[in-house]
Amino acid sequence: MPTADEISAAPTIAGRPVGRLGFGCWRLTTSSTAEATALVEGALDLGCTLVDTADVYGLDWGGTGWGTCEERLGAVLAARPALRDRMVLATKGGIIPGVPYDSSASALTSACEASLRRLGVDHVDLYMVHRPDMLTHPAEVADTLLRLRERGLIRAIGLSNHTTAQVAAVQEHLGEPVAAIQPEYSAAALGALRDGTLDQAMRHRAAVLAWSPLAGGRLVSGEGVRPDLVAVLDRIAAERSTTRTVVALAFVLAHPSSPVALLGTQRVERIAEAVAAIDVHLTRAESYAIVQASEGVALP
């Protein structure tokens, strides 16, 4: 049984602790290495020690094509090599536009090797299958990931956007729990809370990397989310003399699985605002009020 200290400890990946907020590189599409370096270094300075990217990042949000966000991050690391030791570096593979998913041994191996070349590193701390390929047997996925680890190309294994059954199937053939999962989770997207994803992570002590913790910015703008949810977030923010953004992030951080909230903003000042969420500890009444407003139905 884990101790209380172990339960409350910061998440670890590949034996390294990570901050409760992480820096996501989906929108790292600037053509300026200096600008990208300032952003990455600023995020690290603010405690966002997990830096998360993927080979597919760069096909949207102003990117110029496949792999361009990894290339930009690689340019940052080439310009400032010391930053590499300050981060827990994660990337993902398995999406191929037009296919759209391929987790076969050859595809995942090639994807990982190509990511390392673009990043200019000899290994990543965490490698994740980005989305499940239902046409590849989980035994093949597990074997491929283990071989990548044996070669020293990756330190830890993770799964992104997988169902609990898909995670369990891969883990069965890995012979060990995955180090991390990456589900969507926010005050506006409670699927991981209800479908067993977060429970499974706690059972196996996997790190939870919550993507889109601000619902892609909709919780900041208030557009496209339930008005009742916005009202509850604003009420709590006013009572605590903080912002809606901080309360929405505090809700994600409040879950006992200790999620790492991955921030997609490309502005250091927005990251600085978000950091305040670490010190905002919502009451149960506040958290359940957010759940009820998000789902629009009374709790039983």
* 55-110 confidence digits (pLDDT tens): 999 988 777 889 999 999 999 999 999 999 999 999 999 999 999 999 999 999 99
298 or 2: which carries more pLDDT confidence?
298
Asked if 36 and 274 touch (Cβ cutoff 8 Å), the reply is no
Which burial class, exposed, middle or buried, applies to 224 when counting CB atoms under 10 A from its CB (0-12, 13-18, 19+)? exposed
d(CA 185, CA 117): 31
| % of residues, the chain, pLDDT over 90 | 94
Average pLDDT estimate for 230-241: 98
Other CB atoms within 10 A of residue 220 CB: 16
d(CA 213, CA 69): 20
Asked if 109 and 117 touch (Cβ cutoff 8 Å), the reply is no
d(CA 164, CA 152): 28
Q: State the fold for domain 4-295.
A: TIM Barrel (3.20.20)
Asked if 156 and 261 touch (Cβ cutoff 8 Å), the reply is no
d(CA 252, CA 249): 5
Asked if 23 and 263 touch (Cβ cutoff 8 Å), the reply is yes
The amino acid that residue 70 corresponds to is: E
d(CA 5, CA 7): 5
Residue 271 has pLDDT above 90, yes or no: yes
Q: How far, rounded to the nearest angstrom, does the alpha carbon of residue 280 sit from its chain's CA centroid?
A: 20
What residues are labeled active site?
Answer: 57
CA 92, 75, 262: angle at the middle one, nearest 5? Answer: 40
Average pLDDT estimate for 256-282: 96
Q: Where are the domains of the chain?
A: 4-295
171-189 pLDDT per residue, tens = 999 999 999 999 999 999 9
Residue 9 has pLDDT above 80, yes or no: no
User: Band of the pLDDT at 4, cuts 50, 70, 90?
Assistant: very low
Give residue for tokens 């390929």: 133
Residue 260: enclosing H or E segment and its boundaries?
strand 260-263
Residues with Cβ within 8 Å of residue 194, at least 6 apart in sequence: none
Single out the residue of 88, 100, 151, 135 nearest to residue 143, CA to CA: 151
Average pLDDT, the chain: 95
27-36 pLDDT per residue, tens = 999 999 999 9
Asked if 160 and 55 touch (Cβ cutoff 8 Å), the reply is no
The pTM score is: 0.95
At 289 the pLDDT is 98
User: Band of the pLDDT at 192, cuts 50, 70, 90?
Assistant: very high
Backbone torsions φ then ψ of 283, nearest 5 degrees = -75, 165
